[in-house]
Chains A and B, each alone.
Chain A
């Protein structure tokens, strides 16, 4: 069974500092991994995804994520945090098996950027 874990319920970072939101995964085949962001009272919005190839994936709003196969991790990063980045972030993943396979979501990490 596939699973996605976000070990931190909340991450606090000062504005202008780099931020990292952690995610680890467990899938049976090659992983397809996603990051979504949810602003208050809104639906989830896609940020970026890893399929194959370059381990550093660049996405929307200056975010990037690093795929690390040996550590089974896919951490979300941004060099300089903005107050407007404060939101709930979800990591999601599935494997590369044929046919429909559901996407498994992590429990979410609340990012608080402090002015």
Chain B
């Protein structure tokens, strides 16, 4: 039982390049999330998927797109990377069954955009 896995762990991009961050969970969770973590700003929600087949914007969606490929997988795409997107990206999942369910986080992807 791996929980939430993310690939890659590290990535360096040049401005304007694109990439996709992959996330998968094996807990049969309905809800999945993408956050970015920046120093002094805590975690900010980029996009979330309350259930398979739905996605919605969070606080900071500009410059990102997401795909809920199936119940297990939720990917985050940067179409044209910018230095402001240098951050640590975390994927999380929760059962979605109640409003108090706990989120489980992946190990993160450290992205640097030059």
Interface set of A (CB-CB < 8 Å, partner B): 9, 32, 34, 36, 41-46, 49, 51, 90, 94, 96, 98, 100-103, 105-108
Asked whether B64 is an interface residue with its Cβ less than 8 Å from the other chain, the reply is: no
Report how far A103 CA is from B42 CA in the complex, Å.
12
What A residues does B58 contact at CB under 8 A? 102
A49 near B100 (CB under 8 angstroms)? yes
Q: Which among B42, B44, B48, B108 is the interface contact of A43 at CB below 8 angstroms?
A: B108
B43 near A90 (CB under 8 angstroms)? yes
Which residue on chain A has the smallest CB distance to residue B106? A43
Interface range for B: 20 to 34
Closest 9 interchain pairs by CB?
A43-B105, A107-B42, A105-B43, A105-B42, A44-B105, A46-B102, A51-B100, A100-B50, A43-B107
A32 near B99 (CB under 8 angstroms)? yes
Which residue on chain A has the smallest CB distance to residue B105? A43
Asked whether B66 is an interface residue with its Cβ less than 8 Å from the other chain, the reply is: no
Beyond the given A32-B100, A105-B43, please list 6 additional residue pairs across the A-B interface where CB-CB is below 8 A. Answer: A43-B4, A44-B43, A44-B92, A51-B100, A94-B99, A103-B103
